């Protein structure tokens, strides 16, 4: 028996090229995204400036593709669907809610018309969430942001297991997260102003434990740099992006 790796190579090559093109063509709006509210402020600033992130490998890109497929599958099964990919904004922070649903009839908790954020997770992570750990903090922040932007008191956060499509849906109370959302936006705005006035980038300070791991750091070359060093490196990388015509 022989094993032919042609299909695997073709998939890897296409996914990497697609991601490289997507990154090159990305035109940063300069606005903070709802999905970044739980990120370290250094990552937030670098992202909105358009500083290139660490290139993702083919394995990670495959996982993202799987996650996108699973999340799209769940949207098609969500009851009382009102809309999909709704653009929302609050205090100049922007984002797209995966979908909006009307909970007044089919849902266990009648909380009106609310946004639903969907997250695909591995079966192992789903078990961890299902056994009482609750939703991940950055995911809850994002869902609550969409509720806040819609003027709703609640939001839904649904986890779907990528292996067998089990779903666990949390009802998020927006008021529990509003102060933290405002604090995160204030912190971003303050550091963005420092960049614009003094050309400084905040030092890397992780918010969650996993962010300390360089394997998962979006900007590993900035770890350990002072604000001045990080600012200089950011300008250098932005100049390279500009020079390359993107």
Q: What is the pTM of this model?
A: 0.92
Q: Provide the CATH number for the domain formed by 61-175 in this structure.
A: 3.90.320.10
- Running DSSP on this structure, what letter comes out for residue 130? I
Q: Where are the domains of the chain?
A: 61-175
Question: CB of 148 within 8 A of CB of 187?
Answer: no
SS3 state at 201: coil
The size of the chain, in residues, is 246
Report d(CA 177, CA 167) in Å as an integer.
23
Tokens of 32: 């903070």
Q: What is the pLDDT along the chain (246 residues), one digit of tens a residue?
A: 999 999 999 999 999 999 988 887 777 788 999 999 999 999 999 999 999 999 999 999 999 999 999 999 999 999 999 999 999 999 999 999 999 999 998 999 999 999 999 999 998 888 888 787 789 999 999 999 999 999 999 999 999 999 999 999 999 999 999 999 999 999 999 999 999 999 999 999 999 888 888 888 999 999 999 999 999 999 999 998 888 765
């Amino acid at each position: 028996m022989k094993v032919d790796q042609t299909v695997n190579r073709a998939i890897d090559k296409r996914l990497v090229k697609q991601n490289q093109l997507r990154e090159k063509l990305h035109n940063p709006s300069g606005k903070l995204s709802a999905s970044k509210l739980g990120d370290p402020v250094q990552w937030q600033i670098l992202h909105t400036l358009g500083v290139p992130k660490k290139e993702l490998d083919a394995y990670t890109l495959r996982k993202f593709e799987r996650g996108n497929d699973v999340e799209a599958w769940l949207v098609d099964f969500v009851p009382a669907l009102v809309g999909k990919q709704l653009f929302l904004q609050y205090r100049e922070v922007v984002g797209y809610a995966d979908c909006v649903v009307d909970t007044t009839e089919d849902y266990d908790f009648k909380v009106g018309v609310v946004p639903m954020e969907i997250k695909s997770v591995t079966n192992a992570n789903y078990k961890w969430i299902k056994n009482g750990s609750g939703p991940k903090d950055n995911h809850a922040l994002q869902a609550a942001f969409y509720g806040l932007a819609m003027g709703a008191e609640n939001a839904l956060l649904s986890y779907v297991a990528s292996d067998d499509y089990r779903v666990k849906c949390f009802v998020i109370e927006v008021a529990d997260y509003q102060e933290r959302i405002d604090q995160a936006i204030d912190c971003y705005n303050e550091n963005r102003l420092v960049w614009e006035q003094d050309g400084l980038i905040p030092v890397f300070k992780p918010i969650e434990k996993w962010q300390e791991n360089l394997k998962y750091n979006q900007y590993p070359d900035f770890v350990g740099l002072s604000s001045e060093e990080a600012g200089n490196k950011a300008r250098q990388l932005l100049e390279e992006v500009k020079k390359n015509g993107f």
